[in-house]
Structure 1
Amino acid sequence: MSFRKVVRQSKFRHVFGQPVKNDQCYEDIRVSRVTWDSTFCAVNPKFLAVIVEASGGGAFLVLPLSKTGRIDKAYPTVCGHTGPVLDIDWCPHNDEVIASGSEDCTVMVWQIPENGLTSPLTEPVVVLEGHTKRVGIIAWHPTARNVLLSAGCDNVVLIWNVGTAEELYRLDSLHPDLIYNVSWNRNGSLFCSACKDKSVRIIDPRRGTLMAEREKAHEGARPMRAIFLADGKVFTTGFSRMSERQLALWDPGSPLLQQASSSSKPPGPSPFCFCTVTSRAP
């Protein structure tokens, strides 16, 4: 029996892009090499924040958007954590406030000067302590001021009142394994999460209840992600058992059941769109 190598042709082979010139990029940034699945950056209308390598603790850069080009290695950083910084998120209600989560099990909230940093920032406005393991997920509430979500490797989701440094809600029984990511819906009444147990969950944080769940949303062993879209649907990315990239769209108004668009099986009861990207993950 002969085996021929399968060649998958890209549908986008005739798409071209023009690279941005170096003087319009941010160069020479020592991006963190910590082993954590994160974007390591966050942006708002005024600033770009990037988690960077640091000795003796954790740090991140905060750059005005206009400061492109080569970044001086001595540029001041935000450096109050005693462990590596894992996630950062800008406050949607104040362009000069940013929160960070770290391996030191704390969440810190920082006030950035109006014109950016001119010296290292070491004193946070608020320190939030409640996790027993490293904090890898930070997400501000989209509509309520001073409300912040954090999730850690203790499989716990905490909702904070940043103004008083109080723990508003503790959700410690809804995730049996590592939480990959969390995303608020548009008005902040619900959030969805992707978990290492391969389940996607929709949760009401005020009631502390599970509103919907889809087990084995993506059956691959690699990390997956879930986000709420503006229309209330949930978009997920993940992998199949064969490590093929997958994209899926879920309707929370129906049971989270699978209906594969390319499957020969009859469609299920849920208006769910599912697609497998034909190129294998490296």
Structure 2
Amino acid sequence: MKRVVRVSKYRHVFGQALKNEQCYDDIRVSRVTWDSALCSVNPKFVAIVVEASGGGAFLVLPLHKVGRIDKSYPTVCGHTGPVLDIDWCPHNDQVIASASEDCTVMVWQIPENGLVSPMSDPVVILEGHSKRVGIISWHPTARNVLLSAGCDNQIIIWNVGTGEAMINLEDMHPDIIYSVCWNRNGSLICTTCKDKAVRVIDPRKGAVIAEKDKAHEGARPMRAIFLSNGNIMTTGFSRMSERQLALWNVQNMEEAMNVYEMDISNGVLLPFYDPDSNVVYLCGKGDSSIRYFEITDESPYVHYLSTFSSKEPQKGMGYMCKRGLDVNKCEIARFYKLQERKCEPIVMTVPRKSDLFQDDLYPDTAGPDPALEAEEWFVGKNGDPVLISLKNGYVPGKNREFKVVKKNILDAKVNKNSENSSPKSEAKLEEILKEIKSLKDLVSSQEKRIIQLEEQMSKIAI
């Protein structure tokens, strides 16, 4: 007997929008026409690009701060033009980058418990683009490496730790860049452009290693993402404006492995990919549905699973990383859907009868620790994501404070001279730190004494 129905543990995944009291209400979501997600989430915060007068701003809300958001709630508001894209750092849950029409990229350190007052001073401002910056993306495995793409058709890769532009890819794209995506270990990027080409680029060599012209015939924007096996998935439009999903082998991009046609609509499809389950979620801008597909190694490669539908159209979408999910409820994905005045969490669950940890649903996943430092990556090293187990639920560690070290030409000379005297200087530093600590203790004891004396004086005065 031939098996008619394909066996998959994700066949019965179902989506469910959370109740009204668990949504974020009364948010004026940005009206910018740029096709970005306008929302970014991590296990601590949800960030949403909002309407702002006289510049650009975005809200950063702790995940538990649900309900109606006060109009006077503080925002991150350092940009002089509308914010077009935001992205949380995968290695520090309190660091977020934002790109704007004012041609700059800014990196912010959010306080542990969220904002208590408006934040207008970024940790670092990255200036290098001559036109608006519409795309930013953190490196998946190297600390402090950030990519930005602007409407000046160039891609810049920054060392955020020093605030320097390290790689500039200028002459590869003849027109506006629609999307940029890193591969699993961050050694390659794939891009889509208004010239309808998909390019695979080695950024450190500054070379295009694979290219496909007219990956989709339609004129509307395309998107491309890397899958965990190194293949590329693109979303775009046919000549008849049908929305398509296509799969490509980087070794041979002459013909697509599969082209899946969906429907006729002009909403750009935003793809979100889970490398652990090989499930791709497609959220169309202006749609009110999320379609999901499973990608496998056997033909036809792309298998439609189901569609989650709701009434309200989506203006943007945030996608939670695996370590922010509730493994006890068999949750395999969570989206934060932006509506006109609201952000609504949508939970995707695989129904299971057992309360035990489902290790087939949760293989070890990428954790918050980087595999490399920025300097190692720029000199040519690669590192796969550092994996963690979700068996006991993810417990966040302490985030290091983000610091920017400005490079100084004198550093190299000073370091050479100080190499011999480093043990002495370390001992001296320890001595100074001890002295500071003892002074602090003295000040606090004197403060207590003063308070006691004041209390005694007030009793005498009475």
Q: How does 1:137-176 map to 2 (within 5 A)?
A: 137-176=135-174
Deviation at 1:137, TM superposition (A): 0.3
Q: How does 1:203-214 map to 2 (within 5 A)?
A: 203-214=201-212
Query: Any idea what the Cα deviations from partners look like across 1:145-171, whole Å, max 9, x if unmatched?
Result: 111000000000000000111111000
2:76 is matched with which residue?
A: 78
Rounded to whole Å, the distance in 2 between the matches of 1:219 and 1:183 is: 21
Rounded to whole Å, the distance in 2 between the matches of 1:205 and 1:54 is: 35
Decide which of 193, 196, 217 is 1:195's aligned counterpart. 193
Decide which of 227, 230, 236 is 1:229's aligned counterpart. 227
Query: Any idea what the Cα deviations from partners look like across 1:182-213, whole Å, max 9, x if unmatched?
Result: 00001100000011110100000000000100
Q: Name the one with the larger strand percent.
A: 1
Consecutive unaligned residues of structure 1, counting only runs of 5 or more, are 1-14, 260-271
Query: Any idea what the Cα deviations from partners look like across 1:84-104, whole Å, max 9, x if unmatched?
Result: 000000001100000000000
| Off by >6 Å, runs of 4+ in structure 1 | none
Deviation at 1:20, TM superposition (A): 2.2
* Partner-residue secondary structure (3-state), 1:42: strand
Q: How does 1:195-274 map to 2 (within 5 A)?
A: 195-252=193-250, 254-259=251-256, 272-274=257-259
Decide which of 249, 264, 270 is 1:280's aligned counterpart. 264
* Partner-residue secondary structure (3-state), 1:210: strand
Rounded to whole Å, the distance in 1 between the matches of 2:165 and 2:98 is: 16
Rounded to whole Å, the distance in 2 between the matches of 1:55 and 1:81 is: 11
Letter of the structure 2 residue corresponding to residue 258 of structure 1: E
Letter of the structure 2 residue corresponding to residue 107 of structure 1: V
Rounded to whole Å, the distance in 2 between the matches of 1:18 and 1:216 is: 37
Q: Name the one with the larger helix percent.
A: 2
Q: How many equivalent pairs are there?
A: 254
Rounded to whole Å, the distance in 2 between the matches of 1:19 and 1:103 is: 33
Consecutive unaligned residues of structure 2, counting only runs of 5 or more, are 1-12, 267-462
* Partner-residue secondary structure (3-state), 1:173: coil
1:10 is matched with which residue?
A: none
Rounded to whole Å, the distance in 2 between the matches of 1:211 and 1:55 is: 44
Letter of the structure 1 residue corresponding to residue 265 of structure 2: A
Rounded to whole Å, the distance in 2 between the matches of 1:108 and 1:17 is: 35
Measured at CA, do residues 18 and 108 of structure 1 come closer, stay the same or move farther in structure 2, by a change above 3 Å? Answer: closer
Letter of the structure 1 residue corresponding to residue 139 of structure 2: H
* Partner-residue secondary structure (3-state), 1:181: strand
Letter of the structure 2 residue corresponding to residue 256 of structure 1: M
Q: Which moved more, 1:38-47 or 1:64-73?
A: 64-73
* Partner-residue secondary structure (3-state), 1:23: helix
Deviation at 1:19, TM superposition (A): 3.8
1:178 is matched with which residue?
A: 176
2:21 is matched with which residue?
A: 23
Deviation at 1:275, TM superposition (A): 1.0
Percent of pairs identical after alignment? 72
* Partner-residue secondary structure (3-state), 1:95: coil
Measured at CA, do residues 43 and 19 of structure 1 come closer, stay the same or move farther in structure 2, by a change above 3 Å? Answer: closer
2:134 is matched with which residue?
A: 136
Deviation at 1:25, TM superposition (A): 1.2
Aligned: 1:91 with 2:89? yes
Rounded to whole Å, the distance in 2 between the matches of 1:231 and 1:84 is: 37
Measured at CA, do residues 17 and 167 of structure 1 come closer, stay the same or move farther in structure 2, by a change above 3 Å? Answer: closer
Rounded to whole Å, the distance in 1 between the matches of 2:219 and 2:33 is: 17
Rounded to whole Å, the distance in 2 between the matches of 1:21 and 1:115 is: 24
Measured at CA, do residues 24 and 88 of structure 1 come closer, stay the same or move farther in structure 2, by a change above 3 Å? Answer: same
Q: How does 1:3-152 map to 2 (within 5 A)?
A: 18-152=16-150
Deviation at 1:17, TM superposition (A): 5.8
Rounded to whole Å, the distance in 2 between the matches of 1:201 and 1:16 is: 35
Letter of the structure 2 residue corresponding to residue 280 of structure 1: I
